[in-house]
Amino acid sequence: MLQADVFCRVVDNFGDIGVTWRLVRQLQREYHWSIRVWVDDLKSFQQLEARVNVHTLQQVIDHIEIIHWADPAPDLIPYPIALCNFSCDLPATYIAQLHQRPALWINLEYLSAETWVEGCHGLPSLRGDGLSSYFFFPGFHANTGGLLREGDLLTRRDSWQKNLVGQRQMLERLGVSGAALTALSTPTQAARLLTLFCYPHAPTTQLLEALCADSRASIVLIPEGIAPELTTGRLGPLKQVYIERIPFVSQPEYDQLLWMADLSFVRGEDSVVRGLWAGRPLVWQIYPQTEGTHLVKLEAWLKMSNLPADIQDLMRNWNADTVSTDLPKDFAQAVNADAYAQWSSHALALSHTLAQEVDFAQALHDFCTSKITP
């Protein structure tokens, strides 16, 4: 049984801990790892995992030990594997112990479709203090670590997409209004169901403009605290846009929302990967970086995904540094019947193609096994 310390500093509110929690649960459940998760922000963690006690220094959830990474850090004996998510630092006391108790140190890097990632994946890196680590990249190609995907994920997705009763019960439980639920089941032209998870600078006003101009009704599910400028209720000239506030949900529930939505606006790394596995149309808001680095990553992903040109334009305008007046037009083009049908087919096909590659947890398990001498 492999033992690992997994370190996570929460920078993006939910993305960092979201990826970390999915990864460690899969490693524990499918590969029986013994894991300690070190996380500095238990409040953000609690929004994704309600069982987290923000006042406890050490706790166990689903057989995984959770350590509050405070300052000073707990002085614990290192496990044989140290995983630093998104190349975060290690506690000084922990590094000091590594000089006496060497561990397999792996830097789990950010997701990117850029070609250089394949050349750097799995390479060692020698530090100035004599310690060394390895780079481990998630990715969309065979020469990377792949994407996080539980063994039964697509089977659960397909089952949920057929469970219309369960879907409606979930929306009722989340507090979606009766009027919106009625619009969702209209026999002639049911409302379009959207999920919206975005950064504060997203052009949500332009999106609302596009929805209000659409002939088809839309129900937009938005977690509390996200896009507060969008007012709850029925909006638009025909009041055909239903803005529905829902609570933050657990990761399995978020998967279910993505699986049932006609279109999802996702942000960051964890959400886009889960959106891809949904096999449904999505619009990705990539995490913003200085000097436009994120836009280079976006272009690499658009090239890899080979999305239709109008969808690529919509994606670029959703991520533009300045608000684009073309976004409502791009949205209208993307959701017209023919274009949306093409987009849907492409999304499902892409999920099946990506599922042919090794998943990230399996790749990491195999890598660690190969490096640790029994």
Catalytic one among 5, 16, 244, 357? 16
DSSP string covering 299-317: HHHHHHHT--HHHHHHHHH
Which two three-digit tokens encode residue 10?
């929460």
Compute CA 200 distance to the chain's CA centroid, rounded to the nearest angstrom.
17
Which residues make Cβ contacts (< 8 Å) with residue 46, sequence separation at least 6? 52, 54
Classify residue 32 by burial, with Cβ atoms within 10 Å: 0-12, 13-18, 19+: exposed
Which residues make Cβ contacts (< 8 Å) with residue 228, sequence separation at least 6? none
Does the active-site annotation cover 270? no
Q: What is the pairing mode between strands 64-68 and 81-85?
A: unpaired
> Which CA distances in Å does 97 have to 31, 79, 106?
27, 11, 16
Q: Cα(214)–Cα(356) distance, rounded to whole angstroms?
A: 37
Catalytic one among 214, 262, 269, 313? 269
Q: Cα(253)–Cα(166) distance, rounded to whole angstroms?
A: 12
Q: What is the dihedral of CA 107, 271, 290, 92, to 10 degrees?
A: -30
Does the active-site annotation cover 16? yes
* 3-state class percentages of the chain: helix first, strand second, coil last, to nearest 5: 45, 20, 40
Residues tagged active-site:
16, 269
